[in-house]
Amino acid sequence: MSFLVFINDLPSCVSAGTKTRLFAEINSVEDQIILQTDLDAISRWNQDWQMNFNTDKCFKMNFTTKKTIKTSPNTLCQKTLEATHSHPYLGLKFCDNLRWKEHISEVTNSCKKILGVIRRNFKACPTYIKSCLYLSLIQPKLTYESAAWIPSTNEERHQLDMIQRSAARLCYNNYSREASVTQMLNQLEWPSLDTCRLITRLSLMYRITHNLVDIDWQDPLTRPTRMTRRHHPSSIRVNSATYANSFFPWTIPHWNGLPHDILDIPDYKNFKTAIRDYLN
- Please give the pLDDT value at position 225: 55
The verdict on 228 and 181 lying in the same domain is no
Check whether 40 has a pLDDT greater than 70. Answer: yes
The verdict on 122 and 184 lying in the same domain is yes
Check whether 59 has a pLDDT greater than 80. Answer: yes
- Please give the pLDDT value at position 164: 97
Identify the domain boundary among 190, 208, 239. 190
The verdict on 27 and 65 lying in the same domain is yes
Is 144 part of any domain? yes
Q: Is the dihedral of CA 214, 220, 225, 231 positive or negative?
A: negative
Is 90 part of any domain? no
- Please give the pLDDT value at position 247: 87
**What's the rounded mean pLDDT across residues 50-60?**
84
Instruction: Label residue 65 by pLDDT band (50, 70, 90).
Output: confident
Mean residue pLDDT of the chain comes to: 84
**What's the rounded mean pLDDT across residues 60-86?**
84
- Please give the pLDDT value at position 214: 82
- Comparison of pLDDT for 274 and 1, the residue scoring more: 274
CB atoms within 10 A of CB 243: 12
Is 173 part of any domain? yes
User: Is the overall model pTM greater than 0.85, yes or no?
Assistant: no
- Comparison of pLDDT for 5 and 266, the residue scoring more: 266
The verdict on 106 and 153 lying in the same domain is yes
Identify the domain boundary among 190, 212, 247. 190
- Please give the pLDDT value at position 7: 41
234-259: pLDDT as tens digits: 666 655 544 667 888 889 889 999 99
**What's the rounded mean pLDDT across residues 122-137?**
96
Check whether 5 has a pLDDT greater than 50. Answer: no
The verdict on 49 and 68 lying in the same domain is yes
**What's the rounded mean pLDDT across residues 127-132?**
96
- Please give the pLDDT value at position 6: 38
148-188: pLDDT as tens digits: 998 989 999 999 999 999 999 999 999 999 999 999 999 99
Check whether 223 has a pLDDT greater than 60. Answer: no
Distance from C-alpha of 176 to C-alpha of 179, rounded to nearest angstrom: 5
Nearest Cα to 76, choosing from 110, 49, 42? 42
Check whether 130 has a pLDDT greater than 90. Answer: yes
Identify the domain boundary among 22, 55, 84. 84
The verdict on 102 and 79 lying in the same domain is no
- Please give the pLDDT value at position 81: 87
What is the CA 133 to chain-centroid distance, rounded? 24
110: domain range? 98-190
Is 11 part of any domain? yes
**What's the rounded mean pLDDT across residues 216-245?**
59
The verdict on 152 and 173 lying in the same domain is yes
The verdict on 270 and 202 lying in the same domain is yes
Is 223 part of any domain? yes
How many domains does the structure of the chain reveal? 3
Is 186 part of any domain? yes
- Comparison of pLDDT for 154 and 65, the residue scoring more: 154
Is 93 part of any domain? no
**94 pairs with which residues across the strands?**
87
3-state secondary structure the chain: CCHHHHHHHHHHHCCCCCCCCCCCCCCCHHHHHHHHHHHHHHHHHHHHHCCCCCHHHCEECCCCCCCCCCCCCCEECCEECEECCEEEECCEEEECCCCCHHHHHHHHHHHHHHHHHHHHHCCCCCHHHHHHHHHHHHHHHHHCCCCCCCCCCHHHHHHHHHHHHHHHHHHHCCCCCCCCHHHHHHHHCCCCHHHHHHHHHHHHHHHHHCCCCCCCCCCCEECCCCCCCCCCCCCCEECCCCCCCCHHHHHHHHHHCCCHHHHCCCCHHHHHHHHHHHHC
The verdict on 200 and 221 lying in the same domain is yes
